[in-house]
Amino acid sequence: MRAETLKGHLDFLLLATLADEPAHGYLIIEELKRRSAGAFDLPEGTVYPALHRLEQGGLLASSWATAAGRRRRVYRLTARGRRALAGARREWRGFTKAVEAVVT
């Protein structure tokens, strides 16, 4: 899938990836690839600006953690992020249902 197609949905995908548990950037990207069976192929570095922006917008929070002697930034959903994710899920389900009804 082209990065251009993914652009409008990246925030939603990142929030959904973090819904279960906090994660650092590399793990988030790996999880995105795993869940999409490799379909989401975008320059990995573009995920980090989105994470910073979502944090700036109050949808994510982050803190430093240490693993294997390295400092890493771990992201988690805030209450506002959970509400945004629930809204985005509802909207997405309505949209896909409507598209499905038209194209099949």
Partner 1 sequence: MSYLSELSDELGAVGIRGSRGRRIMAEVADHLASGGEVESFGSPPLIAQRFADELATAGTRRLAWLSFVALAPAGIGFGLLFVLLRPGPDITSAQTLAVGLAAAFTMVLAPQIALASGLLALALGWRIRAETVAPAAAVRVLRRRVALAIGCGALTLTAVATYGFEYSGQLPGWWPIAAYAVAGTLLLPLGVAGIALARTARLRPQAGGMVTDVVGEISQGQPWRFCLLFAAAVGLVALVGGGLDEGPRNAVAEIVLICASFAALGRFLGLRT
Contact criterion met (CB below 8 Å) for 28 and 86: no
Question: Please, what is the minimum distance in Å from the beta carbon of residue 103 to partner 1?
Answer: 26
80 near partner 1 (CB under 8 A) = no
63 near partner 1 (CB under 8 A) = no
Which pair of structure tokens corresponds to residue 62?
């982050």
Bridge partners (DSSP) listed for residue 72: 65
Q: Where are the alpha helices (DSSP H) in the chain?
A: 3-6, 10-17, 25-35, 47-56, 79-103
Which region among 6-14, 15-23, 78-86, 92-100 touches partner 1 (by CB under 8 A)? 6-14
Question: Please, what is the minimum distance in Å from the beta carbon of residue 2 to partner 1?
Answer: 15
61 near partner 1 (CB under 8 A) = no
- Whole-number Å distance between alpha carbons of 31 and 21: 12
Residues that bind partner 1 (CB under 8 A): 7, 10-11, 24-27, 29, 43-46, 48-50, 52-53, 56-57, 70-73
